[in-house]
Structure 1
Amino acid sequence: MTISNREAFLDNIAAKLGRERKRDVKRPAWIHHVHQETLQGKTTEELIDIFKKQCALIHTEVIESTPEALQKTLDGLIDAYGGGPIIRSGDQRFTEYDLTFTGDSYIWQETAGREENIRRAASANTAIVFADYALAESGTIVVESRPDQGRSLHFLPTHYIAIIEKKRIVPRSTQAAADLNRRIEAGEPIGSCINLISGPSNSADIEMQLVVGVHGPLQATYVLI
């Protein structure tokens, strides 16, 4: 990445402030650590309880399952949503958990091309993904955009199912961001876009009347394993 006019820009700011430009800048120490202390020390089970209570407030159902029963749980949800078409990400965890879907099922894949993937997402009844993180404080899942999981996969289908492994639950966005930063510093690949999704789309812009599903899935379900 090329940075243009940085020196002139910073010199101009210093001049407007009426002082010499500071070149040796140290990051100030935190006085308060609320961002780190919130929900600190909670066990995984306690975080799950907080997560479920928050999901109840954002119109999102949480279903608890097990790796062994996951296929049956997903099949039941798909039937309840009215069947296919189904679109899922190419996440390798679908293979690890031995998940297969019959009928009209499609896997988001880079080789299919952008337009075909988006067309499939727009016509899908249900999308199924694995969450990269889940935030207990807000009932939010965090998902990365990757070649095997584009942004449209999360927003165009009518129904949305996110599978959450318990180990992926963290107190809040602070911990998710810290882990993403650790991965970046370790040279690990990171998605081109990080989406934080809190249940189905909601809007109360017009006369403070809540409407669900205006610009995204009508229903969202989290399957906790």
Structure 2
Amino acid sequence: MSIQNRDSFLQNVANHLGRPRKTEQVERSSFTVAPQWEVFKDHTQDELADELEAHCKVIHTTCKRTTVSELPHVLWETVKGYDGKSVIASDDKRNDAFGVTSFYKELEEQGVEFQLWNPSDGHYNMEFAERADVGITFSDITLAESGTVTLFNNSGNGRAISLLPRTYIAIIPKSTLVPRMTQAAKHIHDANQDGHPVSSCVSFITGPSNSADIEMNLIVGVHGPVEVTYIIVE
């Protein structure tokens, strides 16, 4: 992704502010302490998975663990548990590698209405997501400390998949686990600095939707999925 007309835009801003445009890069501050890097610093992937599973209890999220070979079975079990009669999922390159493509075919064979997010279908994707019982995506980066899945939304992975269906399932490859937001932000920053394509929309999702705005009473499922399952995959 390239930036268009940056110089002329910034010059226009400077002109309206009545000052010369600043062209020197801001010098990054250097801090003597960096506690944000200390949380779970020496944890293994297994230990991060334990932390994630423990925090799922706090965020009202079901957490399951499985292997690639057993993933289709666990997915089917979860969809049935949600009484899923309609399912929408992301068109992710990992679908084949994790055996999920065959699972989606099985869903259709069992009479479940299914939609793989397809940009050529236009607004129909969102219409389907709005009435779907279950949305399924992979997590791109997973924050153990807060129980947060990170989604790089793109043409095959619309935001509506995780926002509009009644329930949501996040497939979490164990390799995506990091301690906290600090590492996720660094990953995104480094990818951008190295010239790799970075999604223009990154979603951070922590369990089912909830709000405690009214009298500090927590209400789960206010403006999105009322139930969420994380499936950690070896």
- TM-score w.r.t. length of structure 1: 0.90
- Percent identical among aligned pairs is 35
1:74 matched to 2:81? The reply is no
Comparing 2-11 with 121-130, greater Cα deviation is found at 2-11
Measured in 2, the distance between the counterparts of 1:120 and 1:192 equals 23
Q: Distance in 2 between matches of 1:194 and 1:211?
A: 25
In the TM superposition, residue 22 of structure 1 has moved relative to its aligned partner by 10
Partner of residue 195, structure 1: 203
Partner of 2:142: 134
Alignment gaps of 5+ in structure 1 = 14-20
What does residue 39 of structure 2 align with? Answer: 38
CA contact (8 A) 2:86 2:133 kept: yes
Distance in 2 (alpha carbons) for counterparts of 1:73 and 1:216 = 23
The counterpart of 2:115, out of the listed 106, 126, 151, is 106
What RMSD, in angstroms, separates the aligned Cα atoms of the two structures? 2.0
Change (3 A) 1:212 1:24: closer
Distance in 2 of aligned mates of 1:215 and 1:62: 21
Among 106, 116, 120, the alignment partner of 2:124 is: 116
- Shift of residue 9, structure 1, vs aligned partner: 6.2
More moved, 185-194 vs 207-216: 185-194
Answering whether residue 217 of structure 2 is matched by residue 216 of structure 1, we say no
Q: Does 1:7 align with 2:14?
A: yes
Q: Is 2:164 the partner of 1:156?
A: yes
Gaps of 5+ in 2: none
Partner of 1:207: 215
For the Cα contact (< 8 Å) 2:115–2:125, is it kept in 1?
no
> Number of residue pairs matched?
218
Q: Which amino acid aligns with 1:106?
A: Q
TM-superposed deviation, 1:25? 4.5
Instruction: Report how far residue 98 of structure 1 moved.
Output: 2.1
Check conservation: 2:71, 2:99, Cα contact below 8 A: no
Q: Structure 2-normalised TM-score?
A: 0.87
Taking structure 1 as reference, are residues 24 and 202 closer, same or farther at Cα in structure 2, changes over 3 Å only? Answer: closer
SS in 1 for 2:52: helix
